[in-house]
Amino acid sequence: MEPSPKRMPTLDEVAARAGVSRTAASRVINNAPHVSRAKREAVQRAVRELGFVPNPAAQALATRKVGAVVLAVSSDEPGLFADPFFAEVVVGVSAALEQTDLELILLLANTPRGRERFERLLRSRRADGVMLMALRGDDLLGRLCQEAGLPVVFGGLPLTGEPTWYVDADNRGGARLAAEHFARTGRRRPVMITGQVDARASVAREQGFTDGLTLSGLPLLGVEPGQFTEDGGAAAMERLLRAHPDPDAVFAASDAMAIGALRTLRERGLRVPEDVAVIGFDDLASARHTSPPLTTVHQPVRALGQEMARMLVGAIEGHRPSPLILPTRLTVRESAPDLPVQA
């Protein structure tokens, strides 16, 4: 009987022997840039020891990789990446990419100049994939990526359609928790500060809060947009107080807007939580240091960035990752305590 042919080692086995990621092993085998000398030597040693022979078709495909991914944000605000929310996302993305040899390019892409840079980057194939965030309305960025044939992962769903790959938080369910907390603690005159009307997260949070109030038999006295900024939240709170002088609860669809609302309430001489309870959304580090500390819906912001990056790496490597919705929960602090209000 003839001996069975010897099984050829796989790329995964080379990576495991070398102690590197599959992406790093692939880049060494295909002589791609942006690989450390130590990793290159470890992979080359593993190739010799295992007798690995690259698949010519796969090798031709891999050589087209450039070793970089883009995090593009549909915003024209230069200080956006210093915003605590986006800073946490970037930390998460960077942590996930530490396990690879991919470089990260940050790009603001909502101005004509920013979109031009983005299109030029796509046309020149200077990235292997893209992560998109803060899309508004019918944004063109996702379409540009698809036309370029690049894998794209959405951080948060766009307002219309459902992309192949996305990571989002349970915005609707989290906002519903805020409404239920107000009802459970005896609040009867709630108002809400939303984000942008053409952002899906803002729409979902308004829907969730309204759902929770309806199920609890409570009316929503008023809604004002706050643009997801602290100053916007302060101005929205001012407008709400002019229209409804005696609310006893405020749900702001982001911590930044909640902090602005706290400022306006304090300037108006209203006590939190005795006169008005306040709940935010995000649970950023700043929520622990407001006066009083902010009750807020926790979403795993850093994990959002990590999972986006992991999903994109999987897509670049030819896998078919599944979309992901991350859970939310209520973090109760002094601005809206668990104890019911006293009559």
Higher pLDDT, 83 or 328: 328
Residue 151 lies in a domain: yes
Mean pLDDT, residues 92-121: 86
233, 193 in Cβ contact below 8 A? yes
**Is residue 225 very low, low, confident or very high in pLDDT (cuts 50, 70, 90)?**
very high
Cα dist from 140 to 109, 123, 158, 275, 286, whole Å: 10, 15, 11, 45, 33
Q: Are residues 232 and 204 in the same domain?
A: yes
Q: For residues 146 and 251, state if they share a domain.
A: no
179 and 260 housed in the same domain? yes
Identify the CATH number of the domain in which residue 277 sits: 3.40.50.2300
Residue 341 in any domain: the answer is no
* Cα angle value 184/191/179 (rounded, 5°): 30
Q: How far is CA 198 from CA 1, 139, 164, 167, in A?
A: 70, 10, 21, 19
Same domain, 179 and 296: yes
Instruction: Give the model's confidence band at 277: pLDDT under 50 very low, under 70 low, under 90 confident, else very high.
Output: very high
Q: What is the pLDDT of residue 32?
A: 64
Q: What per-residue confidence (pLDDT) applies to 4?
A: 44
Residue 164 shares a structural domain with residue 108: yes
Residues 282 and 189 in one domain: yes
User: Is residue 147 domain-shared with residue 254, that is, in the same domain?
Assistant: no
In a domain, 191, yes or no: yes
Report the helix count and the strand count for the chain, using DSSP H and E. 12, 12
Specify the CATH number for the domain of residue 44: 1.10.260.40
Distance between CA 149 and CA 128 in Å, rounded?
10
The answer to whether residue 342 sits within a structural domain is no
Arithmetic mean of pLDDT over the chain: 87
Residue 333 belongs to a domain: no
Verify that 22 and 97 share a domain, yes or no.
no
Number of folded domains that form the chain = 3
Please report which residue ranges of 99-158 form alpha helices under DSSP H: 112-123, 141-148
Q: Are 336 and 295 in contact (CB under 8 A)?
A: yes
Residues 162 and 216 in one domain: no
Q: What is the DSSP letter of 100?
A: S
pLDDT on residue 61: 47
Q: How many CA atoms within 13 Å lie on the side-chain side of 147?
A: 11
pLDDT at residue number 8: 72
For residues 193 and 268, state if they share a domain. yes
Q: Which residue segment(s) compose the domain that 21 sits in?
A: 11-62
Mean pLDDT of 142-156: 82
Residue 214 lies in a domain: yes
CA distance 330 to 328: 7
Q: Is residue 267 part of a domain?
A: yes
Residue 1 has pLDDT above 90, yes or no: no
Same-domain pairing of 184 and 250: yes
| Per-residue pLDDT reduced to its tens digit, 36-74 | 888 889 999 998 888 887 765 455 445 456 788 999 887
15 pLDDT above the threshold of 80: yes
d(CA 60, CA 279): 54
Read off the pLDDT of each residue in 150-159 and give the average, rounded to a whole number. 86
Q: Are residues 114 and 178 in the same domain?
A: no
3-state SS class at 287: helix
Q: Which of 3-12, 24-33, 51-60, 322-331 has the lowest mean pLDDT?
A: 51-60
